[in-house]
A and B are shown apart, each in its own frame.
Chain A
Amino acid sequence: GAGVSQSPSNKVTEKGKDVELRCDPISGHTALYWYRQSLGQGLEFLIYFQGNSAPDKSGLPSDRFSAERTGGSVSTLTIQRTQQEDSAVYLCASSAVDEQFFGPGTRLTVL
């Protein structure tokens, strides 16, 4: 069956621009997660959505980062006024119970 998909697979942007990254979770999965993978920081949790509950935003590094999940399915991670330190691979995962299934990631490069 279909796994977690993310788009775009690669994104190059200029410093100061806004970017939107999309995640399509596995159908029926109630939980959705965003992580960031960078050379200096490894894999970091960003935000977590569970059903209709308020999201856990405790991992967002600054107020330039935000995310939403519409209709309990697709999620968009938005980074405003991008900085060079935002360059990383952004991974999305979804889960039904306890195993998180990861997408291939979006590689973001900020010039």
Chain B
Amino acid sequence: AQSVTQPDIHITVSEGASLELRCNYSYGATPYLFWYVQSPGQGLQLLLKYFSGDTLVQGIKGFEAEFKRSQSSFNLRKPSVHWSDAAEYFCAVGDPFTGGGNKLTFGTGTQLKVEL
């Protein structure tokens, strides 16, 4: 069964500092990979996704993520964090053999706090 690990439950960064959120997955092949953000009281919003090809993917709001097969990782990065980035971030995997639009397995989330 596939699984996703987000080792950091909480992260605090200063506004303007760089950010990296970690995500590791367990799967027999390369899954479809996603990062979602959830602001308080809001639904999940897709930041970016990786299916194949270039291992560095760009997303919305200035986020990017890099797929590293050797490390089974898909870490999310942002060069300069804004106070509005404070939210909870979820990494998710999907089964590529049933299509990208299938059920997702989520990590437990990382709560990001931004200090002004």
Residues of chain A having any CB pair with chain B under 8 Å: 4, 31, 33, 35, 42-45, 48, 50, 56, 58-59, 91, 93, 95-105
Chain A interface main SS type? strand
For chain B, the count of residues having a C-beta within 8 Å of the partner chain is 23
Q: Are A45 and B101 in contact (CB under 8 A)?
A: no
Distance of B108 from chain A, by nearest CB (Å): 5
In the complex, which residues of chain B have a beta carbon less than 8 angstroms from the beta carbon of A31?
Answer: 101-102
B69 within 8 A of A: no
Assess A98 versus B51: contact at CB under 8 Å? Given A45-B104, A48-B102, A104-B42.
yes
Q: Does B53 contact A (CB under 8 A)?
A: no
Do the beta carbons of B32 and A42 come within 8 Å of each other? no
Complex-state Cα separation, A42 to B102, whole angstroms: 18
Task: Provide the bound-state CA to CA distance between A42 and B92, in Å.
Answer: 12
Residues in B neighbouring A48, C-beta threshold 8 A = 102-103
Bound Cα distance from A95 to B106, whole angstroms: 17
Please, how many angstroms separate the alpha-carbon atoms of A79 and B107 in the complex?
25
CA distance A100 to B41 in the complex (A): 18
